[in-house]
Amino acid sequence: MKLFNLHTHSFTNQTDVLELVNQYPQEFDASIPFYSIGIHPWYIVEERLETDLEVIENKLKEINCLAIGECGLDKRVEMPMDLQQVVFEKQLLLAQKYNKPVVIHCVAAFQEIIAIKKKLNISVPMIIHGFSKNEQTAKQLVDNGFYISFGKYLLRNPELESVFKSVPNNRFFLETDTIAENIDVVYALAAKYKDVNLEEIQKQISSNFQVVFKTTLI
């Protein structure tokens, strides 16, 4: 059974890991086996928006495109929030159209993300990547149908142990994002925090993968 890396920016080509590699419309690498593609809120180019969305829509038709993203909202960058929201909503509607999950970048905008999900009546799985907040925020996200992915901050911040433990087993994923550590290091810590063996974590994430991505992790 393979390990699953929900979000990474580096394809490492490990035979025992399925990596969901983040791609951008203008920097697409066709050699990567499985990927997500989206417009990150940091990198919105308004003049290129329709072209980028067209690239994304074309890729969403491909079987190797497992998700849209990362996309979302970030209140700590200078990109206007109204523009961020428009771009995010357009991508959510594409995800809904092609029945693909969404990998979400969210900084200080969880209430807005939840509100947009409700407003647009989005039913495809939405996964908050790189989670680093408290139990209350995690519970609110889970209660509103989101999945939560842990990685860098789980390794770096011991206070996240209780948050991770509080997330139901059928609602979490693990990732590396931009860190140097391999995904097996994240799996090992997750197993320790959940007080189960590594195989149990593998089985759980394999089950979650099957539910969200509608295919089997083998």
C-alpha distances out from residue 31 to 12, 25, 146, Å: 12, 14, 30
d(CA 163, CA 88): 27
Tell whether the torsion through CA atoms of 60, 49, 93 and 78 is positive or negative. positive
Q: Binding site annotation covers 129?
A: yes
Q: Binding site annotation covers 40?
A: no
Helix, strand, coil content of the chain in percent (nearest 5): 45, 20, 35
d(CA 211, CA 7): 17
Q: Binding site annotation covers 9?
A: no
Summarize the annotated binding site as residue ranges.
Answer: 70, 105, 129, 177
Summarize the annotated binding site for a divalent metal cation as residue ranges.
Answer: 70, 105, 129, 177
